[in-house]
Amino acid sequence: MRVMLVDDEQSALDTMSYLLRDYPEVEIAFASTDAIEALKALEDTQVDALFLDIEMPVVSGVDFCERVKEAHPEIAIVFTTAYEHYAVRAFQLGAIDYLLKPVTRSALKRTMGRIKDQYDLRNPAPAPQPEESEVVLGTMDGKHAYWESYLIPKGWFRSHRAYLINLKMIESITKMSNSVYYIRMKGRPEEIPVSRSYFAEFKKLFGI
């Protein structure tokens, strides 16, 4: 997770940099006491979160925030200030949180939780991908559509709402009746059923 720090006081930047050492997943991509310099840096610096002072010369934190929201709405903005009365304005501007100086570890922990929640929503961890040598994938985890879109073009088949099977790893097909078939897979002891919902496609696929 990459963050930017903008504050007209170097001591405030140093303090925030120090506190963020508690979060090894965080990289400080840019830090500056110059708001104009920071705005220019945002043009070619990928940032997930911005810690921003409100009272700054030349460009105020409010103006800075408005520019960022217009150009980079995905960035989580946290206002840092010594003045409590800015809190309402901060949230009106869409800030994810508001830190009162001097920033404490407990307050930053709350803020980092909110930033991480937003980051995870925007950057979901990829689901593990089955290897080609895998045989059967149980899909009772609510990810039917995801797995089907990924695996079926790679030679898999849904035989049942609970199973996707690797067609390359079929060992035998057993007919129990005109509409009941079971599939035995290489290296697996159980028999995989073919449900009525997928029976027509199954017959077409195997020319039964």
Tell me where in the chain the CATH 3.40.50.2300 domain(s) lie.
2-122
- What is the per-residue pLDDT across 168-183, written as a single tens digit (0 to 9) for each? 888 898 888 777 888 9
Strands 136-138 and 163-166, sheet pairing: antiparallel
Q: By mean pLDDT, which of 32-36, 42-46, 54-58, 121-125 is the weakest? A: 121-125
Distance CA 42, CA 37 (A): 9
* pLDDT score of 129: 58
Four-CA torsion 197, 200, 206, 208, nearest 10 degrees = 120
- Residue 199 host element (H or E): helix 196-206
Q: What is the pLDDT of residues 69-87, one digit of tens each?
A: 999 999 999 999 888 877 7
**Runs of H (alpha helix) within 27-80:** 35-41, 61-71
Q: Alpha-carbon distance 46 to 126, whole Å?
A: 20
For the cut 80, the answer to whether the pLDDT of residue 64 exceeds it is yes
Specify the pLDDT at position 138.
57
CATH architecture of 2-122: 3-Layer(aba) Sandwich (3.40)
**């028999």: which residue's tokens?**
191
pLDDT in tens, 186-208: 888 888 888 888 888 888 888 77
Asked if 47 and 71 count as a contact pair (C-beta separation under 8 A), the reply is no
Note the pLDDT of residue 142. Answer: 46
Let me know: does 7 contact 80? Beta carbons within 8 Å.
yes
Name the band, by pLDDT with cuts 50, 70 and 90, for residue 165.
confident
Q: pLDDT tens, 24-34?
A: 999 999 999 99
Tokens 């500056």 correspond to: 32
Mean pLDDT over each residue of the chain, to the nearest integer: 86
**Per-residue pLDDT, 146:** 62
Q: In this structure, are residues 172 and 161 in contact, taking their beta carbons and an 8 Å threshold? A: no
pLDDT tens, residue by residue, 96-149: 999 999 999 999 999 999 999 988 888 765 555 555 556 666 554 445 566 777
pTM for the predicted model, two decimal places: 0.62
